Structure 1
């Protein structure tokens, strides 16, 4: 087969994923305000795609890189196709936006135009402009003495075209340009005082209010045009880690450079004044292919906050789910006493992240705890975990925190956490040169009866309380001696000069994870050849590493049954005769972001289950510190097996990948099963998992 037929391109697969997100916004069976949320997510996803992936393609073109990738695409050919597909997606987004606004209006909420306001409403909004908005605005003229300003990536601006006062002979025939930033510190949606006897709640967009009163900023000039625009810049960091004396300072320097990254996309409001458009094209050095003309408000990510702010609208949202506290820890104030007796598995968001917080707090105040070690990749604002680590350090415990400063778009926040932890007395390590530390692990060392015992938490998701409420992730609490020994060795490698460890339980990237996965797959291939049960079920966010895909193709051809639950990018083509006819790939896009990474192999009849921090992408397998951890407890393995089976049986929100690269909804005529709501309908997901028969 030609390579283009053997693999699906990563970027085109991503566009398919974001299309599935957009489908949720278009789905009339999805609650209205949740549809707004999905549309916001789709827009946010596209922003990141443009600033990283499209920027990377343009970097390759500038460098004269012409070689095709393993899927058969050259940078030029791929960029052309990507821009065409994203343009189509943007048109879909705004058709959906207009549809959602009509639906919202029927529910009594309207985002209106200035012309639709009555006199009292206009007066009230004018007063708001003068008192709140006007003092924050800064007009930036563009002329020979005032150069074109630095435009921040993904911020909203107004391009203003002016002519001189007709009464002024010197200025009347001249054209002038200025730029005004729409202040992001103010709410984008402004509630308008209601009409008398009206049950509708009316909102006005901030940029529309500014447009109407823009003349206030340019007295003595005539406004010829004022339209919104937005620039997306290259946001990838280019770090010189080898030559950096201080990685933290190097990243801070790169963050400043990011503000000046070259523009990769210019979004302009439909009907932009020709003079303003030419100015932007010249100053930003963008081509027609980089310009997206938008028929509607720019930057639909505002819809997330807007949907969350609407009161008395619970009937337009998913029913609330209150995470339950893990039943194993409910009757005790000493979590470690429970973990000594048995391993405990938690599954977010159905089970509360408070269990992780409590575990760390217990360790922080326990006088018998000698040391706490932890990795932090993405942490929420006001993190309870960070406070617990600081408290532990201040009480004299040895606290080591590996903070990943290179977590994309969280760099500044992580720098702040690192400095806060250092002030509290924690030993902070900024990861390894050339590698991102993506493993999610906590180690607590406790003195017990004259010896030391290690307690470990290993997770598939970040230590982030906010995302734990909307991401599905698994976490394992254990004091298994092999896992504890490996955890100590892993931290020694990350913080010191320890040589690679002879792992007893873990497989660790970049050196050992991929070989371990290959060994597991090879073993299944041998079982298939021997006529034994041979089955692989893997759940992850993305699958794009060529050699991993080839190994799965090899397993399929040997007769191994392979079921992949891949939420996002998947470069493998399933169902191709002679190549992958034994591979099935599904993607679930639903209320919660499917984020857990779980692997199950038949083991020739004795099934093994692993949880991991890693997707099967090149960056995870070769450029990051990642972790694969076995689940030793038989009952916990069965829970995870049943959870995977519940995903595979989903016929409501699952889409199946076809060999051509497109996805179709699973419709098998069976009784509807929605895997996320199957877990949510009963407070304890474990009860659901335990009630299922795993084949």
Structure 2
């Protein structure tokens, strides 16, 4: 009944709309200007990954003559054409925003300059910097019959240079802009104006020094994006770690999928590069500005730029842990709920660090998907093993773009004496769990932490997530069985509390939705609120359409991709979809089920995507204590009331900002305030979270 392609949106185009919402944040004039530049950089970084994985995959399908249509009815060729159109529009808007920001920075006496705009003294400084710092690092590469077009690494910034000599044919050379040097070079401090020049502009200005006897006619920057997806046949692999390392080396040499080139390029030089890369016109992006805007990520962090950043937000120690009790004693007494980054990630670090040092702790077991570059968690686990504890760590080697980092951590943990495992064949382990086994006076006690986000102390400062500490014996039994399944040959048991993908999570979601349908049929109140990063699974969407048809009220908060179409007559009239994009990256996965008066809340590591439900080890777990259920319910209510950072989806798949009617509500700002207030007086949460669900009509 709900299989009609018109009921679904295309995944890739939905993602591009999400990246457009991110880009819109760079156009909000009330946002600090350094942070607006960061949104420009995030948009570029997102596009890089999109082309390396998603576009590369579609291009491979096209080359393999795969004719399959997606859920929205588009062929591979139609998807690629639509992606090219929408991305070209997005990039044009991005650089229009960037030009506006650069103009506004000039009013703040911060300038991005070219060599010709500098005084003679500054030009002399630039030349000296080029000779002393840049010149020894760069190497020109000739391109001719005996020197074929050089291999240029993925996402590297390069210069194509057209040179001539009297009586000879025109020649082409290439220079790779060194990533080891700062991309934004600070001109020595002036009394009134702070000036920056791009590294590639300095090289272009003085590169004639590398071509004695020739005249430089033109210099054009360009950048290549390559296929970076890993293909690993795990069934026939003897050593997964070794195979991933080999695949990472191949990633750097993937086929080109996009060319970005400076807009001032001459036709001949542009065509030379395009022909060498064998790319279709749709994959060529002429850029009217500096290529690779990811260079602005750290601009606001430069010394003296503090006024151009958000005011610092200090994560608070949650009220539940403010009584000074020992962490294990507190968890033994009651479950503890954490809401990051508004509440500190430190209790999670303390949990592992205390367990590592505690003589009563016998064993620690943990999953690791993405961790920080200098991870205190890894250090604590290593210390625990050195202290003689039984430490088992599942390190997911296939966490995309964190593979190299995770290989290093896996080796370090093994050297410290930890038992390191790589999960189940053919599945990524995306679940988030820590199990601490402790010997106490009345026997063995298990303490568990489960969460919606990674054990990464760095991203925990900017990603919104929830975590739950519990010493509930049923959770403890589930946790032990969970790690036995991951590390050995144990069949999955009948779980007490948790639900695990890929075996049971899909069925659990269907069961929850079916129960809401039953509630409506019995004339009882019913409501589903689900928050996630992406909604893609066709069967789950069809089940939501079915529930909507019966009259179940469904509010979806989906940050990124959503292929469900809300508001379709007789299909999804009772479904709303909104996306919140703000200072922090919305990352937690939450499900609220009304069940008449029997409210239930679940947290999960999984988005509602085929890969999460079918191809990953994921967790869904209930929040049992009523005070935590009420807290999460009201947190969701504030998100639904957000009229500052929320965008609501129309039935055609486009988004508009929620109208700013009534009281201004920025959910992320509200949660910062709540964390500060409830740090001192826990019962304040009750009256600050009063507004209940608001639906956008």
Query: In which range does the TM-score fall when normalised by the shorter chain?
Result: over 0.9
Per-residue Cα deviation, 1:600-659 (whole angstroms, up to 9, x for no partner) = 101231101011000001111101000001111111111111111110011111111110
Q: Which moved more, 1:683-692 or 1:411-420?
A: 683-692
> Which residue is 1:576 aligned to?
568
> Which residue is 2:227 aligned to?
234
User: Could you say what secondary structure the match of 1:562 adopts?
Assistant: strand
Q: Which moved more, 1:373-382 or 1:685-694?
A: 685-694
> Which residue is 1:152 aligned to?
153
User: How many Å separate the matches in 2 of 1:357 and 1:101?
Assistant: 40
User: Could you say what secondary structure the match of 2:596 adopts?
Assistant: helix
> Which residue is 1:12 aligned to?
13
Mapped contact 2:337–2:469 kept (Cα < 8 A) = yes
What are the within-5 Å matches in structure 2 for residues 225-624 of structure 1?
225-314=218-307, 316-332=308-324, 334-624=326-616
> Which residue is 2:207 aligned to?
214
Pairwise CA distance, 1:466:
1.0
What are the within-5 Å matches in structure 2 for residues 60-99 of structure 1?
60-99=61-100
Large movers: runs of 4+ above 4 Å: 685-689
> Which residue is 1:690 aligned to?
686
Mapped contact 1:532–1:605 kept (Cα < 8 A) = no
What are the within-5 Å matches in structure 2 for residues 199-210 of structure 1?
199-210=192-203
Query: Is it true that 1:183 corresponds to 2:178 in the alignment?
Result: yes
User: How many Å separate the matches in 2 of 1:660 and 1:333?
Assistant: 53
Pairwise CA distance, 1:273:
3.6
Pairwise CA distance, 1:448:
1.1
Pairwise CA distance, 1:266:
0.4
User: How many Å separate the matches in 2 of 1:368 and 1:280?
Assistant: 65
Segments of 5+ residues of structure 1 without an aligned counterpart are 167-171
Shift of the 312–298 alpha-carbon distance from structure 1 to 2, 3 Å rule, reads closer
Segments of 5+ residues of structure 2 without an aligned counterpart are none
User: How many Å separate the matches in 1 of 2:89 and 2:270?
Assistant: 22
User: How many Å separate the matches in 2 of 1:194 and 1:501?
Assistant: 66
Mapped contact 1:137–1:183 kept (Cα < 8 A) = yes
Pairwise CA distance, 1:302:
0.6
> Which residue is 1:169 aligned to?
none
User: How many Å separate the matches in 1 of 2:674 and 2:523?
Assistant: 39
User: How many Å separate the matches in 2 of 1:101 and 1:341?
Assistant: 55
> Which residue is 1:141 aligned to?
142
Mapped contact 2:300–2:309 kept (Cα < 8 A) = no
What are the within-5 Å matches in structure 2 for residues 25-64 of structure 1?
25-64=26-65
> Which residue is 2:104 aligned to?
103
> Which residue is 2:115 aligned to?
114
User: How many Å separate the matches in 2 of 1:326 and 1:602?
Assistant: 27
> Which residue is 1:193 aligned to?
188
> Which residue is 1:128 aligned to?
129
Mapped contact 1:679–1:685 kept (Cα < 8 A) = no
User: How many Å separate the matches in 2 of 1:535 and 1:387?
Assistant: 44
Mapped contact 1:143–1:177 kept (Cα < 8 A) = yes
Mapped contact 2:565–2:652 kept (Cα < 8 A) = yes
Mapped contact 1:643–1:689 kept (Cα < 8 A) = no
How many residue pairs align between the two structures? 686
Pairwise CA distance, 1:592:
0.4
User: Could you say what secondary structure the match of 2:236 adopts?
Assistant: coil
Per-residue Cα deviation, 1:127-159 (whole angstroms, up to 9, x for no partner) = 111111111111122233333322111110111
Q: Give the superposed CA RMSD.
A: 1.4
Pairwise CA distance, 1:681:
2.7
User: How many Å separate the matches in 2 of 1:504 and 1:524?
Assistant: 22
Pairwise CA distance, 1:193:
2.1
User: Could you say what secondary structure the match of 1:684 adopts?
Assistant: helix
User: How many Å separate the matches in 1 of 2:303 and 2:87?
Assistant: 30
Pairwise CA distance, 1:282:
2.5
Pairwise CA distance, 1:682:
4.1
